[in-house]
Amino acid sequence: MHIIDRIYIDGAFVEPHGDQWAPLFNPATEEQIGTVRLADAHDADRAVAAAKRAFPAFSNTPKEERIDMLHRLHAAVATRASDLIDAMREEYGAPSNFIDFSAPRAGNVFLEMAKTLESYDFRRRIGSADVQMRPSGVTVAITPWNSNYGFICGKLSAAIAAGATMVIKPSEMSAVQTRVITECLHAASLPEGVFNIVTGDGAVVGSALTAHRDVSKITFTGSTATGRRIVRTAAETMKRVTMELGGKSPSIILEDADLDVAVPQVLAAGFLNSGQACIAGTRILAPESRFEDIEARLREAVKDFKAGEPNDKSVRIGPMVSQKQWDRVQSYIRLGREEGATLLAGGEGRPEGLSRGWFVQPTIFTGVNNDMRIAREEIFGPVLSLIPYRDEEDAITIANDTDYGLQAQVFSSDITRARRVADRIEAGRVILNGAQHEPLAPFGGLKQSGFGREFGVFGLEAFLEPRAVLG
Ligand code: NDP
């Protein structure tokens, strides 16, 4: 049993003032694996005070020192890769295909940010003005459970690069992973108070941090509903906010697409992170002219996406993080049938052969109309909607007919055509023919997927404020 009874403030693991405890589970077995003592509003205050004390000195560190810190953070995280993997597998149930990407990526974001910082100029002349890019101040990161240390490291890397100090509030459902990553970050020996990590309830610690007068910026990843609440609270003190929220991303298969490439890629994007991903490509848009062929290929290809025990290397879809998320996904599968969609694969209940664990069958609905709720709302599980379209114009209209705008995919054997379609998609990121990840490219959404960008130079500038000195 993991007993997690410390939070991290001012460079030390300390006892929280909060005295509430929350259980921790292994989602693949539903067994309790530990408990975590939660921070409270008083702890939020202590963490902000530490970050505030650290800010004046840290904001004036030379860039070279911060580049060195980013390298140290990378090394400290890389050293504990196998512990990070074990913690994510036990507490989150992620299968190898996700963990193998996530664990190295958590450390690599520090190196990527160091690279960005090397070529970044904090001063520039604009006409007669000397313009200086100054760090935002005390910042807060609120992170979810679907990629615990990925989000923590990504957000922290930008704060460190900018010279801002930070208080991080992770999801309490990820307390084991948070403990390991905190030990890694601590081993990098940064000045006390530069980062502080307080695991606690969103409504208690999250609210206290977002309302705090000494906090000047919030970076949040999570649901659009919670994001909206945070923006409202942040408005009271005019905090800067970066919001990375939900999605209902379209994967558009144009009629000239090579289906041998497109079909496996579309499923990989849809079932990414067991479907618990804001960027998951959950709406598959297929031309009427090739609809039956695409249906048949999806029905066949989905067999390669085995759901089950995360230790099994052939598994590509792990459990949902909690009973609550499992119930939510099941309710959407029921809803899809009630709305008149047809199951092409999967359905309600656990996959065959699994008698426990919050596992969901990889599910594809066909004959889906974009007005149905399963096509409009974020399900956050391995449940995809196959939607027919008439022609290119219709595909673009359907793709953009959503409250979200985080990511989209376009498949075509004519790259010029794919780019032309991409130009008209309302999303912060468009991927053509399953192109590789670019870690320095900006990431973030349009519409209700949020605002602000993370990673690379845009991610760094989200933690900076320009100041003009004239004369
Ligand atoms: P939330 O958005 O509620 O949680 C994300 C983070 O916000 C957690 O750390 C949470 O803490 C915190 N939080 C919750 N309420 C507040 C508040 N009032 N003030 C400040 N922080 C707060 O997501 P859920 O875990 O409830 O998941 C529900 C749905 O959200 C999912 O089904 C999915 O659709 C979406 N989601 C999207 C994610 C993404 O990557 N964009 C990630 C996670 C969820 P606590 O855990 O203590 O509540």
pTM: 0.97
- Span 423-471, pLDDT tens digits: 999 999 999 999 999 999 999 999 999 999 999 999 999 999 999 999 8
> What is the phi/psi pair of residue 442, to 5°?
-65, 145
pLDDT tens digits along 124-143: 999 999 999 999 999 999 99
The dihedral region occupied by 101, where left means phi > 0, alpha psi between -120 and 50, and beta the remainder, is alpha
**Phi, psi angle pair for 197, to nearest 5°:** -130, 115
How far, in Å, is the centroid of ligand 1 from the Cα of 225? Answer: 8
> Confidence class of residue 154 from pLDDT cuts 50, 70 and 90?
very high
Mean model confidence pLDDT for the chain: 98
Q: Please tell me whether residue 345 adopts helix, strand or coil conformation.
A: strand
Angstrom distances, CA of residue 131 to CA of 157, 469, 470: 23, 6, 9
The active-site residue, picked from 91, 278, 309, 454, is 278
Q: What's residue 471's pLDDT?
A: 85
Q: Where are the alpha helices (DSSP H) in 146-223?
A: 148-162, 175-187, 207-211
CA 202 / ligand 1 centre spacing (Å): 8
Q: Which residue puts its alpha carbon closest to atom 42 of ligand 1? A: 222
Only one residue has tokens 């001063």, namely 123
Rounded-to-10 torsion of CA 381, 277, 28, 321:
-90
For the CA of 207, the closest atom of ligand 1 is 19
Q: Which residue's CA lies nearest to atom 6 of ligand 1?
A: 144
Ligand 1 centre to CA of 33 (Å) is 22
What confidence tens digit (pLDDT) does each residue in 176-222 have?
999 999 999 999 999 999 999 999 999 999 999 999 999 999 999 99
Q: Which residues line ligand 1 (CB under 6 A)?
A: 142-144, 146, 169, 171-172, 201-203, 206-207, 210, 221-223, 226, 229-230, 244-246, 278, 325, 328, 378, 380
Q: What percent of the chain has pLDDT over 70?
A: 100
Taking residues 225-240, what's their average pLDDT?
97
**pLDDT of 351-375, one tens digit each?**
999 999 999 999 999 999 999 999 9
